[in-house]
Structures are given as structure tokens and as C-alpha cells.
Structure 1
């Protein structure tokens, strides 16, 4: 339970979790576990769930619940949830390390990003997992997932699912200079998978 929530807020969050997590489970099966990003003084409560790959050829996913109703430092509601897709072996990193990285990125996004417009590029960071070559980050429209996940309805609120993808410094420069369409073309022609965080 989040101590900063009053009973009505807690119920609203529980309902939000049920709807959003239910949508994830319908698409990806049961999560293995979750971590909580909690800042009661700021009324921040975000849950991050790990959906492991079923086998070595499947996709692993990390997805948020609660980011959508979190307020930015400017008081604006974020209105989106994040989904990070990775290869089954997670780029030779532990799930715990990826949880920590996502928490760092989420806090930065909540505190610094002025709005939820996409695409949004975060530059290269020393906080990225050591084994990854993708040390920058892109937030953009959801790709490669069911259309049912693109927008999740919670009461009167339409929540957009955002694709959170680690990218290389060169890919970040390409997006900033030529746009996300140029990045999409580059990905289509590349021999590496976009969900491989160790790609060259």
C-alpha cells in the first residue's frame, strides 16, 4: 500500500492496475515479478513488471503500471505507460539491473520531460547497463505488439502505451538529425534486431 494515497486514491490505483496489468497478461502471460518505484512525498508510485521470454527465441518485456497517473514536476499528468522489449537473455544483464536502469530513466522523465510528446530521445547515459552497446534511449509509438495495447481505456481515460527502446549513440544522432522515419529505415536494413541491446 502507498501511504501517500487516501482510500479513494488507493482504490483508483487498484482499479488502474487491474485493467492495465490484465491487458499485459492477456498478451504476454504472467509476469515473473515486479519492483516498485515509490516516492510518497511526491505521490509517485510506479510498478514495473517483468515478463520473461518463454524460450530463447521469444521476447522479454518490462512494462510499467501507474506511470500514466503520475504527475510531472510541472503538475501535468504523464498519461502514458512504458514497454521495454528485449531479447530473451536481456543483453547479458540481470533483470534486477534492468529494473534499476528503468527506475533511473523513469525518475529522470518524471522530473525533467515537460510533456509526453514522442518521439523523444534521451542522450547517452553512464547509467546504462555495462554490457549494453545501446546507451541512449528512445520513446516512441508502440511497435511489434498487439493493437490492443496501443491504447488502454481506464474509465474515461485513454492511456497510450509507449515503446521504450535502448538505442546506440549513432542511432540517437540519426533520429535527432533526420527523424524517426530515417531510424525506422535504418532498422529495417540492419542485420541486428532492434530489441538486442548489444547490437553494433
Structure 2
């Protein structure tokens, strides 16, 4: 019983340290978060905090980012060793913060339960769980782009955590990546007239 208690205390301490370091880096880049939700699934040891960083002006994205995903263990027994960041246009695709939190939690649960590795790029095809007002109902998980290099890899003790970029994409864009690769998608986005973080862009 004492061993379990010590183990539990160690996990809490580990999360506290991780939160302090990761959240400090997030706030340095994106200012203060406005909301937080906590996603837990004790039976498989999942405890993830998701923070919402509102847009501060029309040129600055709204962001949702995790702390604790990197502690989550996949069915393979391996920890994810990653955190996620979702950036959206300031209007968030005409959806509420609560709706996006709900969608983000669904994505995290699916990934922990069904995806065997954190290898990127990874495409998730169109989902009925995506917010109703979005045209970009598929998803790309890739290396972080357009953010501070300090966020790309975060070292905490001997652990190195990668912060991954979660990007809503259209069905057409998902097929492009699956058929022609990420380089073809990058070339496509350079010519795109709409922002890649606008989840209501045309098909």
C-alpha cells in the first residue's frame, strides 16, 4: 500500500514539474491561458490538461495545447512522449471554445487507444466528430511549424518531449498527403489563398 502511495506521489510530482516547465514555455510565447479542461481516464493512467490561449489580435491565432499527454501510455506500453498544439484563426471556425475542447478530447482519446506510435506526419481521415461549422474535418499531425524553436523539443531531465502541430485539413488535402506525401501538401499550402489554420476554408 505504501509503495502505491509513493508511486502515486512520484507521478504527481512528475506532472507538477512537467506542468511548470511546459506551461511556462507556452505562456512565454502565447501569454496567459484563459481556460483549462482536464481529461482523465484513471484505469489506463491518463491525466491530460488542455489549455486555451485566446487570440490577442486578428493576426494572432487562438491555440489549444496539452500538458500531460506525454505521460500517457499507449496500448503498446510506450509513452507518447509528445504534447499537442492546435492553432486556429481568431474566430475558431465559428465554433465555441467548449465545442473545440470536446473535439480535442475525442482526438486525444482515439490516439491513445488506437494509434501505436507518435511518428509524424500522420493523417486522420474525415471524422463525424469534427465541429459542424468546419469544412476541414480531417486531421494532420506533424512537426511544429511557425512557432518558437524552444517549443519544438522540450527537455525535462532525461526526457525529450516533442510538441506536435495538430492541423484540421479537408478531405481533398488528406488524400493529397496520403497519395503524394507531405512535400506535395507543403507545396499546395504555399499557393493556398486561405490560411492553413482556417478550418472553414473551401474544399
Give the alignment's TM-score, normalised by structure 2.
Answer: 0.95
Alignment of 1:133-148 (within 5 A): 133-148=135-150
Counterpart of 2:11 (choices 6, 9, 12) is 9
1:23-69 deviations in whole A, cap 9, x for unaligned?
10011111001111101111100110000000222211000000011
**In the TM superposition, what is the alpha-carbon distance from 1:6 to its structure 2 partner?**
0.9
Distance between the aligned counterparts of 1:190 and 1:7, measured in 2? 49
SS, match of residue 20 in structure 1: helix
Alignment of 1:172-187 (within 5 A): 172-187=174-189
Distance between the aligned counterparts of 2:139 and 2:189, measured in 1? 15
Alignment of 1:75-114 (within 5 A): 75-114=77-116
Counterpart of 1:28 (choices 27, 30, 33) is 30
Counterpart in 2 of 1:118?
A: 120
SS, match of residue 88 in structure 2: strand
Counterpart in 2 of 1:51?
A: 53
Please, which runs of 5 or more residues in structure 1 have no aligned partner? none
SS, match of residue 125 in structure 1: coil
Give the alignment's TM-score, normalised by structure 1.
Answer: 0.97
